[in-house]
Structure 1
Amino acid sequence: MLNPNQSDTCRSMSKSSSSDSETSANADLYRDTVFLPRTSFPMRGNLPKREPDWLARWAEIGLDAQIKQQAEGRPAFTLHDGPPYANGHLHIGHALNKINKDVINRAHRMSGYAVRYVPGWDCHGLPIEWKVEEEYRKAKRDKDSVPVLEFRAECRAYAAKWLAVQMEEFKRLGVQAEWANRYATMDFSSESAIVGEIGRFLLNGGLYRGLRPVMWSPVEKTALAEAEIEYHDHKSTTILVAFPIVKDPTPAQALKDVSVVIWTTTPWTIPGNRALAYGAEITYVVLRVDETREGALLEPGAKVLVAEALVENFCKEAHISAHHILYTLPGEALEGAVCAHPLRGAGYDYDVPMLPGDFVTTEAGTGLVHMAPAHGEDDFRLCKSFGVEVPETVQDDGTYAPWVPGFAGVHVFKAADPVCAALTAVMEQANTAGTAPAGLVARGELVHSYPHSWRSRAPVIYRATPQWFIRMDGESALRQKALDALDDVTFVPAQARNRLTSMIENRPDWCISRQRAWGVPIAVFVEKRTGEVLRDAEVMQRVVDIFREEGADAWYSSPASRFLGADRNVDDYEQVFDIVDVWFESGSTHSFVLGQPGLSFPADLYLEGSDQHRGWFQSSLLESVGTRGISPFKAVVTNGFVLDEHGRKMSKSLGNVIAPQEVNDELGADILRLWVMNSDTNEDLRIGKEILKQQGELYRRLRNTLRWLLGALDGFAEEEALPYDQLPELERWVLHRLTDLGGLMARAVETHEWVGVYPALHGFCTTDLSAFYFDIRKDTLYCDAPSSLTRRAARTVLDHLHRCLTTWLAPVLVFTAEEAWTARFGDAESVHMQAFPDLPAEWSNPELDERWTRLRAVRRIITTEIEGARRDGTVGSSLQAQVELTLSEAEAGEFAGVNWSELAIVSHVDVLIVPQSGSVYGESEQGGILHGAPVVRPAEGEKCARCWKVLPETGTRAGAPGLCLRCADVVAEREQQIMTAAQEGA
């Protein structure tokens, strides 16, 4: 018989091409009596053309409105959409994310939940502003000369344009959402809610202004969040610098005429140095230089302090060929030591205290670290704790300030040469004077991972500036509250919990201010006399109300008195114009999206990429816990990044970018959706032309399964169906397998763990159905009489299979499932209005499954022998064979009632029983012959022209030439029906 993935036309052609002329003539005679599949569901999907037609159809019938109406009264399921940036066409990561969400939403809806999915967009901040500035740069236009309201209007228009483009691209992917009810952070209502959230932190004491080093982009002239940073290899100049000790606390004056040597990869921070750090538990040595090699800057006789564990590395770097140790001392002995800045005498005439730092190690350098408190978090904390000043040496654009001696106006990324030149000059003078060395000891280069702005791709620096922060610790205890809130959150995959937890445990206070123009301003006032932020609920409420009506532009267009009110003097207050971090904005979306009718708070689920542990997941958690005391989500699902099929990051330069728009146009969105759900989304995913080609093959098999079901169900009516207790064992086994898959679907809906679900569904279609059940039952479906109970039973199961498979595939193959549903039931109702079938508990029969696992193992042994017989020419097709099957007494009893010829698709099977044998076949799923392999030989008899079985009875019925008795009865019954119909018509 034919594989169900072959066309039925081929079957008819095969019959008519028989070498036996009499059989061929009879085949033509009985061709119309075979119940071949018929369906309007085409073999080819032609998805790029048909999918837009389905979208238009759904819009025409108002499917979204029907779905919303159907949901009334159901329990709610809320997946809150993390907003993508509205600044360009969708990329493959967007497609992965939205398809994943759409599948989960659709599956919950078909499981009986009310699902309102409100899509959103992030429209503020640097990504949008940078794009507008790019246009300015192309036009040679100075952004700073453009009035702020005009610039903001251009940013708004740019974001609105791309929001509309992305919305249509998401729709083309088959994503169902409340598109007319979308949210955007630049909506007036959103801006009002965001500033209201800032106000909550202001009034509860969580918001403060302070000085602390933050990641700073000199190119974009703004502070950056950790989530806006990416790391690339960068070549840095490394230097060893000597700081002369001017105060020796050791009793034996072991540090007299000694210099402390530090190593740094940031020479530009030397002008900002204000201290040195040592490790209290580290052992140090005073090393005297005896001999040097070419290139050395230290002279013989110089004495320096370095960690004992790093002496060898130090000597190599400093070109020292011979030395000896004068003293060994513990780190704690350095307490109270003071050094001079290496540029003392050139405007840096201050003392440099040595301070204990628990972050100092002996992994690299010298075991001594120079502290520039304005340019490092450890530096800042240590110096502040000892009362050391934090100087401002670097300006917004990355150049040294005018008051920095010797380097004013120099850009920090071009400062290595002038800093080294100045330090070299100092060292030469020190050597001449014969005192403790000062200045440059050695210079080198290092390629290392360095932070860059993800927008400009330019390297960033740490820079201490006045910024607005949200406290993580102290009275608010935000850190601990956030960690406690995570105890009740489900993570998929489970290990993602550790990632988010560790990030919250180690993060500093949240810097929420940015020095830009496009966004929601941190709309607060600072009292000039005290420097204290104004915490006035009435002022804050006025800001919120005005923003709701006019948007955040009102902060720039209105006088301060409008917000402060008549009882305050505007001259007493500074109006703050920093804008809030976009991560604070997106982290606030729960406040103006969730809680609407049908949208629960907390959300049932947040789903984003793994990078959002340091981004949206974290900012949403901190924002919600800080203002409401609870997590905004009950569960978090994380997916990996998309790489090319070789595991490389996608880039235009490599030519390996796969755009979702191109996949839609070439293959169809259903192929892209299938790729998502066939992938392990918990890990990084791969995609490429070959991978998409493979998905196309998987799709073809699923489509052909649906097509064969539809064809075999042609004319099926409910009265044809049989109850469960009248079904043959094979049909009951198929229904049991449906309960397995139904349970798999239900667990995925409940747990959000979808990895492996659709590969299992595909495996069922190809292995259990096409290669097994359909193959066996084609003879019954094509050749039995319509009244046959076996045929009715098979069609009963096919009905269940079609309903289950079409609805289970609907969340993924949204267009194909609709086509397969309407091909059978018409377009009066969409498959997307259906529920997942509620399968009866009696269908579940694990014992039956075990029995059929053993039966299939024996069948594989039989079919293997048949294939061998075909290869050696003993038989042609399997129906030309008869088999002698050996069974033990126990196996014969276990398999009693099995129709082996039907199961093996041969014309006849003789069962031989081996007495007193425990088993002939092994117990493994693969089976195994212990003794007595099946014997295959040509079947005895003639080939039936209708069913192709070779039987002795063929042609024995008078008036039915070339037919077996079964087929003769079916043809006679059909002729009688035709005659009766004609008489009734007459």
Structure 2
Amino acid sequence: MCADTPEYKDTLNLPKTDFPMRAGLPKREPEWLARWEKIGIYDRLRDKAAGRKPFTLHDGPPYANGHLHIGHALNKTIKDMIVRSHQMMGHESRYVPGWDCHGLPIEWKIEEQYRAKGLDKDDVPVVDFRQECRKFAAEWVDIQRDEFKRLGITGNWADPYLTMDFHAERVIAEEFMKFLMTGTLYQGSKPVMWSPVEQTALAEAEVEYHDKESFTVWVKFKVADPADSPLAGAYVVIWTTTPWTMPSNKAVVYGDGISYGLYEVTGTPGECWVNVGDKYILADKLAEDVMTRARLETGMYTRVRDVTADELAGLSLTHPLAGAEGSMGEWDDLRDFRAAPFVTDTEGTGFVHCAPSHGMEEFELYRDAGMLEQVITYNVTEDGSFRADLPFFGGKHILREKPKKGDWEGDANAAVIAKLTEVGGLLARGKIKHSYPHSWRSKAPVIYRNTPQWFAAIDRAVGDGQDSYGETIRTRALTSIDELVKFTPQTGRNRLYSMIESRPDWVLSRQRAWGVPLTCFVKKGTLPTDPDFLLRDDAVNARIAEAFEAEGADCWYADGAKEQFLGNDYNAEDYEQVFDVLDVWFDSGSTHAFVLRDRADGTEDGIADVYMEGTDQHRGWFHSSLLQACGTIGRAPYRNVVTHGFTLDEKGNKMSKSLGNTIVPEEVIKQYGADILRLWVAQTDYSADQRIGPEILKGVADSYRRLRNTLRFMLGSLGDFTEEDRVDPAEMPELERWVLHRLSELDDQVRAGYASFDFQSVFQSVFTFATVELSAFYFDIRKDALYCDGDTLRRRAALTVLDALFHRLTTWLAPILVFTMEEVWLERFPGEQSSVHLVDFPDTPADWRDAALAAKWSGIRQVRRAVTAALEIQRREKVIGASLEAAPVVHVEDGDVLGALRSVDFDDICITSDIVLTGDPSPNEAFRLPEVPGVGVVFEKAIGEKCQRCWKILPDVGQHPHPGVCHRCNDALD
């Protein structure tokens, strides 16, 4: 520019905003949190939404015993997006956070603290111990509350629900007593998963499966009865991976449809546990494998004949330890031998040894046969050791108290194997690596152990008159799944249904101290089958409930509690007070009663709109809540079940501290800010397992920067927009009306996505629109008019559209990027009480939708692609530096498309100084884009001088009163 040419930069309408490109989220987010706290935003939302249709997401309570992990962050962020989006779609959207406070993990921590001080838990008064547990839980509730709030989670943090609150403990007890009063509760003795390390029964949800190396043995049972059977003296061989169960063996079973044969040993390789002449009954499909295990090669044994099911029926066997010196007759009784439906010939020997005290299938077999009294043993004590007076094995432990180099193996298996070897009871032995249940908390293996426990019968008629969905808990649950509940994803339905369909009765009792006790009394001298075994009295129940409300569940353990609760109507000496505590899944399963039903911010019908948790909760909270509610209110306590997957590292591996691949929310927030973590959640398909790691987070941060740039452009351009500038859509240029059409389409997509909890589709739709259709297309085109036009209709229309874009993008993204959208909103609408989170999604007028216009502009954009691709080649080859130096000739075969191009300012749309449109055939040298057929572009340079204000190259530059400018800029300067 010459020295005497005016400087026109200050005459442009350049964007003006203090909104920084660098977000600085880690530092600034706490400021917004403090601001929301100050203005009481959650309470203001409740006031604003008064009278609206309620929408309630019921929080599945996290456990109060440690810092948050990435799964917590994923879970709570999804919940927050659900709550916020439904609020902004016109609901009164409520969220009461809660915590699970009872149970083994906390009890285990306090025991560890006691052991460190040289104290024994059993020497401490139970109430003192429970108070320590309560204090521990309360401390972690406070810590986790702050960590959840730092993620930007909105909710009633001032008044959360805790399962250890006195009212909650009262309601949990009342819900249990409903099972008592309807006859659903019973005491039974059956094998349950038992943790010898923690000395308690475990629920399925408290168990996880890991590989374990186990001893495996092939054991010989001799056919003894009838003595004249042609099979007498032969051996039936069983295979087991739990040698420790052999002292509790009471039977062997076979399969009715399996082909069996009698095999005789004709030779031996030398050292082995078989003799020439030994005869073995084996499943034919497995015989070769069994003989190989016994070190016999082909030719060292022969198949003598078939053994039919009729021959097997009625045989009795001797235990390999029968008659052993020092056995004191423990195993001398003949073992039962019968067919069973669970025997297969896919592995083992075709026979299964039965210790019904340690296996559910065997237990059920002999229960149905009416023979439990003959086959149940009590050989294994609470700590996993054999009873002291058990011959040979008394005091031996199945597991160690603590693992040695990761190995929990005790001395019981080795002792049993050694004794079986000594008496000639083994055919072979070895080791196997297999998937085995472990305690989720202690990580120790568990066993099946027969113990007296309290159960909820799920196939017994409840008898409470709430039979709309069935008479039993199971039928009510299955009917609820089919008729009342919508699952996201739908696969969750099948998973939960199959679990409910096949599950056994619910084990309610745990042998622990920290929890809500089973508030019931048993009459001394009666059997569980007697009608008056359990005391059922409404007045007693009412006294218990009132005491729990006033003092909490600790009152159950106070001196004189039994006398107080039984009152004058019963002699306390006639009754035993039950001191087992409830399964913590009963606690959390009951939350619908003391949160949804009892709280002012609950629901009118006690039913939640949404339960949302991880996929493991199909056997956990979804499951227990369904069973519990079906036992007390006759139906599911939820209308929607939404499920997310697990979080893995970038390579798809499970996160583990030992592998060093964990991602800690606190560290992500320190580096990037919580909004980046929230954006990661929104970008993932949470219904499947998700991946996260440093490279993934970098990609998320890049997406965030691109989006932030779009928002910054809008803010800068809208700095001088006023209501006087607003233009009616009917008066707008087509390009602006096309943007409004796209907003109308997006409005439907966003609302549908949020309503179906599909945040990935919401964000992808909005992000693609913002970065591709706005930043790379509409903004790119309209920068010229926004910067250089005077007070033109075109500029005012663009500003009106930017205003519509601003209100929709900020509110649509507010449930996801809670901090950033607040920053954007306050940049434009400052004020002490202002907040984007107090605004609903704006209504979008129906007349913005224009399908014909959209179709027209789809063709225009296609031709534009060909033009910009042609110009990019010229730019790469340094022929031009910018597209404004070009004035291409565009050949278009389709007459309709050509007419559409001529009806708009296609040179502005292509950001060129001029453009020539023609229907003539494209010359050979024309550029063609394969995906845009019928269009050819011939490059030509723009003719004229460069306008010193707008930089277009036009013939009229320099011919106006203002020097060095074009006609448009001259008018703007005037």
Which aligned segments of 4 or more residues in structure 1 are displaced greater than 4 angstroms?
Answer: none
Q: Which amino acid in structure 1 is aligned with residue 189 of structure 2?
A: L
CA shift, 1:356, in A, is 1.5
Q: Contact between 2:753 and 2:761, CA under 8 Å: does it hold in 1?
A: no
Q: Deviations over 1:364-399 (max 9, x none)?
A: 100100001111101111122230420101000000
Q: Report how many aligned residue pairs link the two structures.
A: 930
Partner of 1:967: 969
Q: Contact between 2:892 and 2:936, CA under 8 Å: does it hold in 1?
A: no
CA distance in 1, matches of 2:615, 2:927: 50
CA distance in 1, matches of 2:309, 2:117: 59
Partner of 2:890: 885
TM-score (norm 2): 0.94
CA shift, 1:640, in A, is 0.4
3-state DSSP class of the match of 2:730?
helix
Partner of 1:983: none
CA shift, 1:755, in A, is 3.2
- After TM superposition, list the pairs within 5 Å mapping 1:887-902 onto structure 2: 887-888=892-893, 889-902=895-908
CA distance in 1, matches of 2:927, 2:455: 73
Q: Does 1:908 align with 2:914?
A: yes
Partner of 2:512: 516
3-state DSSP class of the match of 2:276?
coil
Q: Does 1:791 align with 2:792?
A: no
Partner of 2:473: 478
Partner of 2:716: 711
Partner of 2:342: 359
Q: Does 1:390 align with 2:395?
A: no
Q: Does 1:466 align with 2:444?
A: no
Partner of 2:412: 415
CA distance in 1, matches of 2:602, 2:311: 63
3-state DSSP class of the match of 2:479?
helix
CA shift, 1:307, in A, is 0.6
CA distance in 2, matches of 1:463, 1:935: 85
- After TM superposition, list the pairs within 5 Å mapping 1:220-299 onto structure 2: 220-248=198-226, 253-299=229-275
1:945 is aligned, of 941, 944, 948, to 948
Q: Which amino acid in structure 2 is aligned with residue 455 of structure 1?
A: R
3-state DSSP class of the match of 2:335?
strand
CA distance in 1, matches of 2:347, 2:878: 75
Q: Which amino acid in structure 2 is aligned with residue 905 of structure 1?
A: I
1:152 is aligned, of 124, 130, 133, to 130
CA shift, 1:753, in A, is 3.0
CA distance in 2, matches of 1:74, 1:570: 53
CA shift, 1:138, in A, is 2.8
TM-aligned CA distance change 1:705 to 1:915, over 3 Å: closer
Partner of 1:981: none
CA shift, 1:638, in A, is 0.1
2:860 is aligned, of 852, 855, 863, to 855
Partner of 2:937: 934
Partner of 1:14: none
3-state DSSP class of the match of 1:216?
strand
Q: Deviations over 1:838-868 (max 9, x none)?
A: 1011112233223222221211111111010
Q: Deviations over 1:503-535 (max 9, x none)?
A: 111111100110010000001110112131212
CA distance in 1, matches of 2:536, 2:269: 65
1:453 is aligned, of 439, 444, 452, to 439
Q: Deviations over 1:455-482 (max 9, x none)?
A: 0011110001000100111333211111
Partner of 2:610: 605
CA distance in 1, matches of 2:122, 2:799: 74
Q: Contact between 2:234 and 2:281, CA under 8 Å: does it hold in 1?
A: yes
CA shift, 1:916, in A, is 13
Alignment gaps of 5+ in structure 2: 399-409, 463-471, 528-532
Q: Contact between 1:874 and 1:937, CA under 8 Å: does it hold in 2?
A: no
2:293 is aligned, of 317, 325, 334, to 317
3-state DSSP class of the match of 1:892?
helix
3-state DSSP class of the match of 1:933?
strand
TM-score (norm 1): 0.93
Q: Contact between 1:79 and 1:603, CA under 8 Å: does it hold in 2?
A: yes
3-state DSSP class of the match of 1:835?
coil
- After TM superposition, list the pairs within 5 Å mapping 1:321-400 onto structure 2: 321=297, 322-345=300-323, 346=327, 347-386=330-369, 387=371, 388-400=374-386
Q: Contact between 1:281 and 1:332, CA under 8 Å: does it hold in 2?
A: no
CA distance in 1, matches of 2:315, 2:927: 86
RMSD: 1.7
Q: Which amino acid in structure 1 is aligned with residue 819 of structure 2?
A: F
Q: Contact between 1:721 and 1:793, CA under 8 Å: does it hold in 2?
A: yes
TM-aligned CA distance change 1:371 to 1:716, over 3 Å: same
Partner of 1:39: 17
Q: Does 1:869 align with 2:839?
A: no
Q: Does 1:140 align with 2:123?
A: no
Q: Contact between 1:310 and 1:367, CA under 8 Å: does it hold in 2?
A: yes
Q: Which amino acid in structure 1 is aligned with residue 477 of structure 2?
A: A
CA distance in 2, matches of 1:121, 1:169: 14
CA shift, 1:295, in A, is 4.3
CA distance in 1, matches of 2:58, 2:270: 65
CA distance in 1, matches of 2:958, 2:335: 112
Partner of 1:434: none
Q: Contact between 2:520 and 2:535, CA under 8 Å: does it hold in 1?
A: yes
CA distance in 1, matches of 2:162, 2:657: 29
Q: Does 1:816 align with 2:820?
A: yes
1:767 is aligned, of 763, 769, 772, to 772
Q: Contact between 1:858 and 1:927, CA under 8 Å: does it hold in 2?
A: no
Q: Does 1:725 align with 2:758?
A: no
Q: Which amino acid in structure 2 is aligned with residue 826 of structure 1?
A: P
Q: Deviations over 1:375-433 (max 9, x none)?
A: 11011111222304201010000000123221000002422221111111111xxxxxx
CA shift, 1:73, in A, is 0.6
CA shift, 1:496, in A, is 0.9
Q: Deviations over 1:127-181 (max 9, x none)?
A: 1111212222333322222111111111000000000000011111110100112
Partner of 1:591: 593
3-state DSSP class of the match of 1:574?
strand
Q: Deviations over 1:897-956 (max 9, x none)?
A: 021111110100011212799xx999x9x83244x6201122111111110101111111
Q: Contact between 2:101 and 2:137, CA under 8 Å: does it hold in 1?
A: yes
Q: Which amino acid in structure 2 is aligned with residue 515 of structure 1?
A: Q
Q: Deviations over 1:722-759 (max 9, x none)?
A: 11111111111111111222111211233233332212
Q: Contact between 2:906 and 2:915, CA under 8 Å: does it hold in 1?
A: yes
Q: Which amino acid in structure 1 is aligned with residue 941 of structure 2?
A: P
**Kindly, what percent of the aligned residue pairs are identical?**
50
Q: Which amino acid in structure 2 is aligned with residue 817 of structure 1?
A: M
Alignment gaps of 5+ in structure 1: 1-20, 428-438, 973-986
CA shift, 1:25, in A, is 6.7
Q: Which amino acid in structure 1 is aligned with residue 504 of structure 2?
A: P
Q: Contact between 1:71 and 1:113, CA under 8 Å: does it hold in 2?
A: yes
Q: Deviations over 1:57-92 (max 9, x none)?
A: 111122222112112111100100000000011111
Partner of 2:404: none
Q: Does 1:424 align with 2:400?
A: no
Partner of 1:180: 158
